[in-house]
Structure 1
């Protein structure tokens, strides 16, 4: 096992990420190990993430088609308008200011700062390229999904009369703030879990990350910058892409491991 392999933690609590419990998972892992032996684990990770980005783009297209079909039946509007009306009833000048500040943390300035801060910390602490690759790929896929979704749907945001300034005029579906927060914070949480040995610490990491992602999404509806269904779609797409990123990393860890085929084929 090389230096980077020794630095890469491959367990979350008692769960060994290089153990695959399904037949399809074991077959994929075995194939990735053979490819890793031939081409190297890190190049294989990069290729896997590029394939994942392509899959994420297709998922975004599928989501847009499903959304169009549902919208034609007016089922979506049943949720959106009542929820926005309820959010408007909760607004006060002070609360509007606080929520606007909070949602900006997940914006085009705040989220990159959060990502770079954690990225520098991970890179210095672990002295490995894996966190950089995962965070950059996760962010790139999230951005691609956001742009593709907005271009494919072109949905109008809630009326400006119902929104809290500063106003946003780009297409509404999906919520970019929510999608990016889900993917970037989800990736950060995953990388933190690989380094944490105490169960309580892992639980708090997941809870705090989840609260952040959920609160950012709700802030978009509260401010009238997105409809509820924009946020729900962003959560779904973000979690799907996050799952692909984590799976790619698990395959990478499996390809790094040289302890024998039994680690792949038989759950502990």
Structure 2
């Protein structure tokens, strides 16, 4: 007799097309939300909201000083480094080594292409906008490029969420899948928050980075499922 609590999950597993459509809808939703947000930013409609949210993380008596003790600024710099190119590259190579040791060569190659392509798209996205960095507060981290979207936030979302969904596919137990995805999402969120806390990005820059990166990761999941059907990528494991 089928357990009523697990019946919906079992039904979804049998109807792969439906789950693929759900993932596709999520990708379209993320792209649409990114486009709408970009339009609002270009028109200047988010200026007041960005300003208010940024100042929430600053001392009301001295906006040049972030809230919290001094060591919190160092924590912020440590967290923001998790979205840097060097750290992300190391994470990608470590995950590729995981699949190499499992002899899942198709998945390893797809992982490298997916994450590398996402980071490239993130870099190119900045060239389409020329939004100035926040000038209300001093920057607590060195920056060189324009503000929208947040490169650290988008690259972190692209990398960690894509790594998360790919590693989750290789794990048989549902609780392990959930754990990996939660960790990937948590790191992504912390990187984005650190960018606002350090005063180097407007909140909407970070939100755009999250949307773009999440959309890319979900598109990679959809691509992995399609390739798995053709035998180019190893199939997802499940209990």
TM-score by length of 1: 0.69
| CA displacement, residues 121-153 of structure 1 (integer Å, 9 cap, x when unaligned) | 22112x122233222222233223222221111
Q: Hey, what's the Cα distance between the residues in 2 that align with 1:79 and 1:147?
A: 26
| CA displacement, residues 161-196 of structure 1 (integer Å, 9 cap, x when unaligned) | 4321x3202111111111111111112211221232
Q: Hey, what's the Cα distance between the residues in 2 that align with 1:67 and 1:246?
A: 24
- Specify the SS of the correspondent of 1:158: coil
Q: Does 1:119 align with 2:89?
A: no
Q: Does 1:92 align with 2:92?
A: no
Q: Does 1:240 align with 2:215?
A: yes
TM-score by length of 2: 0.76
Alignment counterpart, residue 133 of structure 1, candidates 99, 109, 125: 109
Q: Matches of residues 35-114 of structure 1 in structure 2 within 5 Å?
A: 63=34, 66-67=36-37, 69-71=39-41, 73-89=43-59, 90-114=67-91
- Specify the SS of the correspondent of 2:55: helix
- Specify the SS of the correspondent of 1:230: helix
Larger Rg: 1
RMSD: 2.9
Corresponding residue for residue 190 of structure 1: 165
With over 3 angstroms needed to count, the CA separation of the structure-2 counterparts of 1:76 and 1:122, relative to structure 1, is same
| CA displacement, residues 90-129 of structure 1 (integer Å, 9 cap, x when unaligned) | 143211011101211220211111111111122112x122
8 Å contact kept, 1:119–1:135: yes
Q: Hey, what's the Cα distance between the residues in 2 that align with 1:68 and 1:189?
A: 27
Q: Does 1:200 align with 2:192?
A: no
Q: Hey, what's the Cα distance between the residues in 2 that align with 1:239 and 1:17?
A: 25
Alignment counterpart, residue 224 of structure 2, candidates 227, 230, 249: 249
Q: Hey, what's the Cα distance between the residues in 2 that align with 1:137 and 1:205?
A: 21
Q: Does 1:157 align with 2:133?
A: yes
What stretches of structure 2 of length at least 5 have no aligned partner? 1-8, 22-26, 60-66, 233-239
Q: Hey, what's the Cα distance between the residues in 1 that align with 2:187 and 2:38?
A: 29
What stretches of structure 1 of length at least 5 have no aligned partner? 1-12, 26-54, 258-268
Residue correspondences, number: 209
Q: Matches of residues 189-228 of structure 1 in structure 2 within 5 Å?
A: 189-228=164-203
Q: Hey, what's the Cα distance between the residues in 2 that align with 1:229 and 1:137?
A: 28
Q: Hey, what's the Cα distance between the residues in 2 that align with 1:87 and 1:217?
A: 13
Q: Hey, what's the Cα distance between the residues in 1 that align with 2:147 and 2:161?
A: 22
| CA displacement, residues 205-252 of structure 1 (integer Å, 9 cap, x when unaligned) | 222111111111111111111110011011111111112111111111
8 Å contact kept, 1:88–1:162: no
Q: Hey, what's the Cα distance between the residues in 2 that align with 1:171 and 1:201?
A: 38
